[in-house]
Structure 1
Amino acid sequence: MALQPSLRPLIIAGSPNAPQTLEVFLDYVCPFSAKLARAIDSVLVPLFAPGGQYDGKVKVIFRNQVQPWHASSTWVHEAGLAVARVAPEKFWPFSVALFKHQEEYYDIPTSTLTPVQVREKLAALAASVVGEGKKSALLDHLTLKTTPNGGVDVTEDLKYTIKFSRQNGIHVSPTVLFDGLVANEISSSWGEKEWTEWLAKKVV
């Protein structure tokens, strides 16, 4: 349940001080992660929001789950982390938008693009969410400009998220943890009925 301060925008629902924690390990180019993301947005976010049934009781943390067998997975997660820096309050709205457009970043559609072109495409999508005025800042965070092998501005954030997954033995996306333990019963196909029944048993 640890989260370094620079990644606090990854708390996507509920109060940061809520005593119980739901951690969702999602990959932006995983279709099953997209299904779970839709449920998070339509079911969980309202339940944990101010005035919601579980207001102040549960927080949701987005965990970037890079799947390296998809070449674009690194680039899409870099984009999410760049938005977290440039427009922290827009991290989840951008994530929702990226999931809606995920097929554009699948293996075949990106196979004829350079990494620079993919990052530019992602910056354009992000700008549609955070505003065109922040597009240059987004691109700056996604530009290779240090040493020949030094990565981009958000590479250290990306390393943190990958190391966190590895040390906790997270392999597949999506994976959900509740209060630090893997909740294997949770399915990406869950809707409002399944989620509300499960939460009724789990939330103290």
Structure 2
Amino acid sequence: MTASPQSPAPLVLGHGATELEVFLEATCPHSKRAFDKLQPLLDAVGPDALTIQIRFVPQSWHLYSGVVTRAILAASATEGGGEAGLKALAGVFRNRADFEFDGHHSGPNMNRTPAEILAAIADLAGVDLAEAWTWNTVTQALKWHIKYARQNGIHVSPTFMVDRIVQPDMGSRQTIEDWRAAIGV
């Protein structure tokens, strides 16, 4: 049975009034460092105080960036929704070497196909992504993420916005307490 195309669910943590948008590239080590702090940040301030929206900013020097990002969005378009998308993203970050090139240009991933990458991310997410991968809703979501980042002047990862204002002084090497001070929660 063929599933009806669904729009990818947002990748959101918390539900508070203050909004932190975090622009990530799914194979970037700096994005991984930031991602690993998001749940502890939410735990520190409470889910009623903060909404964390994960956005994507694919970067061409991470050679499979578009393929990996599309697979994560496809995961969030399945019945698993945002939870499946978050699980796929976390899995990619835990297994970065499986999706990145040595020095951005060489290594074992030179011989991998997009289909192999999709299958690997499907295994990490625990959902079948083959059908959702083809949906126009996933294409539109991928385009939206890229356009939204560009409209906000965001070209690198991770980048942070608090209540729609870019925070150029926030970075992945800062502590959660530094982030709390910058966010004001």
Specify every segment of 5 or more residues in structure 2 that has no aligned partner in the other structure, as ranges.
Answer: 1-5, 102-106
Aligned residue runs from structure 1 range 7-86, under 5 A: 7-11=8-12, 13-15=13-15, 18-41=16-39, 43-47=40-44, 53-86=45-78
Cα distance in structure 1, aligned partners of 2:118 and 2:125: 10
Give the aligned partner of residue 103 of structure 1.
97
In structure 1, what is the Cα distance between the partners aligned to 2:137 and 2:51? 28
CA distance in 2, matches of 1:90, 1:119: 14
Range with greater deviation from structure 2 (175-184 or 106-115): 106-115
Residues 39, 190 of structure 1: 8 Å contact kept: no
Alignment: residue pair count:
173
Alignment partners' CA distance in 2, 1:176 and 1:44: 14
Specify which structure has the higher proportion of helix: 1
The equivalent residue for 2:3 is none
**Cα distance between partner residues in 2 of 1:183 and 1:158:** 23
Superposed CA RMSD in Å reads: 2.2
Using the alignment, how far apart are the partners of 1:21 and 1:183 within structure 2?
12
For 2:87 and 2:167, the matched residues in 1 are separated by 25
Given residue 14 of structure 1, which amino acid in structure 2 is its aligned partner? G
Aligned ranges 1:145-156 → 2 under 5 Å: 154-156=138-140
Local SS of the residue matching 1:169? coil
The structural deviation recorded for 1:190 is 2.1
Query: Aligned equivalents of 2:180 and 2:151: distance in 1?
Result: 31
SS of aligned partner of 1:22: strand
Q: Which residue of 2 aligns with 1:92?
A: 86
Secondary structure at the residue paired with 1:160? helix
- Write the distance in 1 (CA, Å) between the matches of 2:88 and 2:118: 14
How many Å separate the matches in 2 of 1:57 and 1:7? 25
* Aligned match of 1:130: none
Indicate the percent of aligned positions where both proteins have the same amino acid: 31
CA distance in 1, matches of 2:7, 2:140: 11
Once the two structures are TM-superposed, the CA of residue 110 in structure 1 deviates from its matched residue by: 2.0
What TM-score do you get using the length of structure 1 for normalisation?
0.76
Q: TM-score scaled by structure 2? A: 0.83
- Contact 1:72 / 1:110 at 8 angstroms: preserved in 2? no
Correspondent of 2:130 among 115, 119, 139: 139
Structure 1: give runs of 5+ residues left out of the alignment: 48-52, 128-133, 144-150
